[in-house]
Amino acid sequence: MVKRFEARQSAADVCVGGRSDMSLEGLRRTFREHVFYTQGRFPMGASRNDLYMALAYTVRDQLLHRWIRTVEQLGREDIKIVSYLSAEFLLGPHLENNLINLGLYEDVRRTAEEEGLDIQVLFDQEEEPGLGNGGLGRLAACYLDSLATLEIPAMGYGIRYEFGIFDQEIRDGWQVEHTDQWLRLGNPWEIARPEITYHVNFGGRTEPYEDEQGRYRVRWIPYRTVKGVAYDTPILGYRVNTCNLLRLWKAEAVESFEFEAFNVGDYYGAVDQKIYSENITKVLYPNDEPIQGKQLRLEQQYFFVSCSLQDMVRIYKLLGGDLSRFSSHFAIQLNDTHPAIGVAELMRLLVDENGMDWEPAWEVTCNTFGYTNHTLLPEALEKWPVDLFAGLFPRHMEIIYEINRRFLDEVRNRFPGDEDRVARMSLIDESGERYVRMAHLACVGSHAVNGVAELHTRLLKEEVLRDFYEMMPEKFNNKTNGVTPRRFVVLSNPGLSRLITGKIGETWVSRPEELRRLEKFVDDPAFREEWRRVKLENKKNLARLIRERTGIEVDPSSMFDIQVKRLHEYKRQHLNVLHIIALYNRIKQDPAYDVCPRTFIFGGKAAPGYFMAKRIIKLINSVADVVNHDSDVNGRLKVVFFPDFNVKNAKFIYPAADLSEQISTAGKEASGTGNMKFSMNGALTIGTLDGANVEIREEVGAENFFLFGLTAEDVTSLQKNGYQPMEYYRSNPELQAVIERISSGYFSNGDQELFSPLVDSLLFHDTFMLLADFGAYMDAQRQVEEAYRDQERWTRMSILNVARMGKFSSDRAIREYCKDIWKVEPVPVTLE
Ligand code: Z57
């Protein structure tokens, strides 16, 4: 496959090319060496994977110098390091992203071409590390990208799941899950650090004792011990030398000679122990929302948090630091409550393991932690049964009781006689079975608490964390989410990136406020023409992929109306389906009905145990089967469920969208980040006043956004006054006809049972108020249609969306975290 080699310097592409510190000839030589020395192949015998691996190692070599220089900086005592603790990091493929950030994309593409290789084929070979479920995990990945780009010394800490989020197949319209095997062919992006290990304890009991100074102390006598091993992945910033580190922990059994001491001669006991230990990091829980009381999940959380905190304490001690000043060297962010046990663990490390007194240790702890909340759904707030918690972590349980005792004293001081408030705020829920409330622990143990969009933060203050806000308002702040324009525009949408760069230069990639300069071109018909050409090209690419993955033919000149995100009732994919059926009914009633040709595209995974979500997937596919083959429709409407939506596929989906569906029940979606990815790629949004939609609409202008539906306040008051979905049903004949289509069995070969759980839930409960919003949604869709028919108008709106989305860069979000919460400054890295 490798044909010829001549050194030739390529002209740097304006957008994805750029400078490099290696000649083309050097790249070519390194690549060939990796084919031979790393993969053990002659060029002719190299498989596609060998070639991918060789290229990945070639690129990784380019990162290492920067990485080592960055890690050296982390060892300076005069700098402060951000530690981002997250149970999920949904990184997506590394190769293309690293090439863009290095500025080597164009050089490497040409070098590959000269070797007779299509670089896209090599990109395709990379299995993405799917170490996350959805928004929360992807946000963590965007934040790592921005931290490095802004030259902030930072570490990500998490779990090296052997099996990430499952692969989704659609079989007969149903979701079928397959275990992910991202490590099967090896992972060239990680470096194992077998010498960086920590012991993590579980179970057992505690015991008081007196130390040398005669002070009262407690020691933990655990029942079992697991070893955590570090695996490091370099995270390079965009066109900078900062290359931070993502450290993921793998669980292993402690060395066998050590547990021989525990279980004398019990070989099979030792084998069981080994299997049991390695279980901890086997698999990601595939649930985007709550996981009820699964012991292994709690073990995962403590496992990675304990390893990470021990690592920070070790690094800090290497600097000769005095632990009372720990918080001036580390700012730790808790990505949701999953790592919140860290508050108790840091206290244990400081007090039990390092002999600090409680009060100074508590001050260090509070100054170190910040907590980000990501949900308003009450059922998603994590809590653990006290028995389970105390059984696994007897010492942490005691520490939490002590934190609680002191905290509730303060509450009583501030609000004398208000025992209801004390019960509401307690770290322990004692209203029935006793639970540890992780969000309360996180709030009390952090100096900063933030929501992820303005509306979300306001609702946190008013509802979910209201008591905490009343007592400590100074802790609360908003940090509206953002996404990285590197992956979601430059990498995903090279056509649009080139068009933009041709007009305003390439600085927008790091400073997307500059996209505003596109506004002055909205009146240029030639520019609008170009803009449409780019979109059409992206739609053709997606159409090709849809044909490959589903066999469905879609028309790239139809409106691409897309909803991709985890399947959840609050996100209301089924409201979108109701609209499709309504249009279908209009056509059936009058085949001459002038419908705007549309392709409805859905994608997203359902938690394997989430019955309703899986039924919604089946409904989408059943409606697709009927609509796509109906001769009255005659191809004017197409419905597609794109299987296995993930970061890799997302690259083809966001850039191809005309319309972005952001239709959650107001007050339920904390922020949303897909909404930002769509709009940055020139899609217009149809959406509710929920999460960051509110701010997107403010930025792009109300006239460039299709708003509909109840407000969060409307939702609350409707609920309070006894919401009756039947009233909406009775007063809307079109809605009745839509529901009738489903319940009659029209989409299920006459089976009236298949969708009855969905229909009944809508008619009799409708927790997420689809029926209340149906009419408004239909009206807004009518406006969408009208706007789309006027392509010049639509293009203007699309351009203005892109031009005004600068705020939603994760760089802006990270700058705010740095200034308001972490108090950290950039530390540029030099290579010499
Ligand atoms: C998750 O992906 C999110 C919240 C959660 O509590 C869990 Br668990 C997983 C999402 C929110 O639903 C989105 O609205 C938000 O944009 C995202 O987190 C990032 O903040």
Q: For residue range 266-315, what is the model confidence (pLDDT) as tens digits?
A: 777 778 888 889 999 999 999 987 767 799 999 999 999 999 999 999 99
Residue 670 Cβ < 6 Å to ligand 1 = yes
Classified as helix, coil or strand, 436 is: strand
Buried b (16+ CB within 10 A) or exposed e, 719-755: eeeebebeebbeebeebeebbebbbeebbbeeeeebb
Asked if residue 691 has its Cβ within 6 Å of ligand 1, the reply is yes
Nearest to 660 by CA among 564, 751, 804, 542: 564
State in Å: Cα 548 to ligand 1 middle. 31
Atom number in ligand 1 closest to CA 456: 14
Query: From residue 65, how far is each of 17, 510, 642, 832 by CA, in Å?
Result: 20, 23, 40, 10
481 neighbors 91 (Cβ within 8 angstroms): no
CA of 375 to the centre of ligand 1 (A): 6
Q: Exposure string (b/e) for 232-254, b if CB count within 10 Å is 16 or more?
A: bbbbbbbbbbbbbbbbbbbbbbb
Strand-pairing partners, residue 141, are none
Closest Cα to atom 1 of ligand 1: 136
Question: What is the H or E stretch that residue 233 is in?
Answer: strand 224-236
Quickly name the fold that domain 499-708+773-808 has.
Rossmann fold (3.40.50)
Residues in the chain: 832
Q: What rounded mean pLDDT belongs to the chain?
A: 95
Active-site pick, 565, 568, 741, 796: 565
Q: In 3D, which of 303, 298, 305, 308 has the Cα closest to residue 436? A: 298
Task: Give the residue among 783, 763, 380 at the shortest CA–CA distance from 570.
Answer: 380
User: Exposure pattern of 71-96 as b/e (b: 16+ CB <10 Å)?
Assistant: bebbeeeeebbbbbbbbbbbbbbbbb
The catalytic position among 571, 605, 618, 638 is 571
CA of residue 281 to ligand 1 center, whole Å: 22
| Mutation to probe ligand 1, out of 89, 131, 375 (largest number of atoms < 8 A from CB) | 375
Span from the CA of 235 to the centroid of ligand 1 (angstroms): 23
Residue 571: active-site member: yes
Q: Which of 374, 568, 663 to mutate to test the pocket of ligand 1 (most atoms within 8 A of CB)?
A: 374
| Residue ranges of the chain with per-residue pLDDT less than 70 | 1-22, 256-265, 291
Catalytic residue among 111, 484, 673, 795: 673
Q: pLDDT value at position 2?
A: 33
Using the structure block, give the residue that is written with the tokens 């403010």: 698
Q: Indicate which residue of 66, 247, 250, 374 is catalytic.
A: 374
Query: Can you tell me which atom of ligand 1 is nearest the CA of 290?
Result: 8
376 lines ligand 1 (CB under 6 A): no
Which pair of structure tokens corresponds to residue 725?
A: 């979905």
d(CA 770, CA 168): 27
Task: Tell me, in angstroms, the distance from the centre of ligand 1 to residue 429's CA.
Answer: 24
Q: Would you kindly state where each structural domain of the chain is located, as residue ranges?
A: 1-76+94-127, 79-92+133-382+438-481+815-822, 499-708+773-808
Domain 79-92+133-382+438-481+815-822: homologous superfamily in CATH: Glycogen Phosphorylase B; (3.40.50.2000)
329 is catalytic: no
Q: Please name the residue whose Cα sits nearest to atom 19 of ligand 1.
A: 136
Q: 79-92+133-382+438-481+815-822 with 499-708+773-808: one CATH topology?
A: yes
Atom of ligand 1 nearest to the CA of 669: 14
Which atom of ligand 1 has the smallest separation from the CA of 566?
2
The whole-angstrom separation of Cα 557 and Cα 540 is 9
Distance CA 326, CA 364 (A): 7
Q: Is 374 a catalytic residue?
A: yes
Q: How far apart are CA 337 and CA 355, in angstroms?
A: 27
Q: How many CA atoms lie within 13 A of 233 on its CB side?
A: 25
The string of pLDDT tens digits covering residues 508-527 is 999 999 999 999 999 999 99
Q: Is 677 a catalytic residue?
A: yes
The structure tokens 């108020």 sit at 769
The pair of structure tokens assigned to 181 is 């095997």
Beta-carbon contacts of 188 under 8 Å, excluding residues fewer than 6 positions away, are 53, 56, 57, 60
How far does the centroid of ligand 1 lie from the alpha carbon of residue 564, in Å?
14
- Close Cβ partners of 412 (under 8 Å, ≥ 6 residues apart): 418, 422
What pLDDT does residue 260 have?
Answer: 54
Q: Catalytic site residue 178?
A: no
Q: Which two tokens stand for residue 426?
A: 């307690």
